[in-house]
Structure formats: structure tokens, C-alpha cells
Amino acid sequence: MKICGKCGAHNDNSRQFCIDCSHRLGDKLTPEEEQKMHARFQKKLDKMGHQTDPLYVSPWDKVMGVISIIGALVCAVLFVMRLMTWRGFYDVGMGLLCFGLAAIEALVPRMIWALEQIRLGFLIGNADDAKPGDFFRISRKVTIVLLVVLGVLVLVKNLMYWR
Ligand SMILES: [Zn+2]
């Protein structure tokens, strides 16, 4: 393979001039160079594949996941403190549950999808072939936001009415 120095087009070894821009072509690529280029191309393709993968964990998901984990940790500490006084631990437990679920939704979508497939199995029978669609993707994002908001509300309420 020869690569045009002017426009970057891929040309057959037999060509003297670029098929796209007629620029004069140099030497053909060595096997190593060709391999390197192929690897780079493959990497780009993989990345594109990930971004259209409905179970892909986006940077936004990661941020929400980290927030949820921090929220869950705060709730866990409060939960233990509340257990000692035996008051209000039910609320903090709810917060812990919300943040925990949000973290799983955000960071391990594969697990949520597996659960969803079990649920679908009751509805449509053959759910193994089912692919997560837009509905799954959007409802997952909405669920994460709702759980985090709920968790934060529980935390705020609990800290405001600290007795
Ligand atoms: Zn060219």
C-alpha cells in the first residue's frame, strides 16, 4: 500500500500518482508500517463501536458513579452513627440504598441489563437475543439522576434535622 503525502489517500502499490489528488506517490509502506497503520485504524473503529454500544460507560456515567459512591460512603458513616442512637437510621438506610443503586446503574450497566433481561424473559419469552434499545438507555440515565437526587435529599434532610 502507498499513502499519498498530500491528501492521505490509500493507493495500490502499482499506482504512481494518487487516485484522489494526482499527487506523485513515493515508496510503498513496509509491512511494519502497514501493520502499525492497521492497528491505529482498528483502535479508532473500536472506539466508535464503544460509543454506540448502549452499555458503554460514558464520562458522564463515571462522574455520576463517583458522586454516588461518595454519597453512599457518607450515608454508611451516618448509618452507623444513627444505629448507635437508634434514631433516624431508616432514612439514612434509604439514602445508602439510593446511592448504591445509582452507582451500580452508572458504573455496571451490564448488570442492570442482565436484570432487565430476566424481567423481559417473563414478558417476551426469548430475551437472550434482546438488545438494549433507546428506551433502556434513556430510562437508565433518568433512573441514575432520580436516585442521586433522592439520595442527596435524604442526606440534606438528615443533616438539617440532626438531633
Ligand atoms: Zn492524494
What SS3 class is residue 22?
A: coil
Q: What is the distance in A from the centroid of ligand 1 to the CA of 22?
A: 6
How far is the centre of ligand 1, averaged over its atoms, from the C-alpha of 26 (Å)?
A: 11
Predicted pLDDT of residue 149 = 94
* Averaged pLDDT, 149-155: 91
Q: From the CA of 131, how far away is ligand 1's center (Å)? A: 41
Question: Ligand 1 center to residue 30 CA distance, Å?
Answer: 19
If you measure from the C-alpha of residue 1 to the centroid of ligand 1, how many angstroms do you get, rounded to a whole number? 13
The whole model's pTM is what?
Answer: 0.62
The pLDDT confidence band at residue 50, using thresholds 50, 70 and 90, is low
Confidence class of residue 18 from pLDDT cuts 50, 70 and 90?
A: very high
Task: Tell me how far the alpha carbon of residue 34 lies from the centroid of ligand 1, in angstroms.
Answer: 17
User: Which band of pLDDT confidence, cut at 50, 70 and 90, is reported for residue 49?
Assistant: low
Helix (H/G/I), strand (E/B), else coil: 131: coil
Instruction: Tell me how far apart the alpha carbons of residues 155 and 153 are, in angstroms, rounded to a whole number.
Output: 5
**Angle value at C-alpha 64, between 60 and 66, nearest 5 degrees:** 115
pLDDT digits 0-9 by tens, 70-110: 999 998 988 888 777 766 677 888 899 999 999 998 888 88
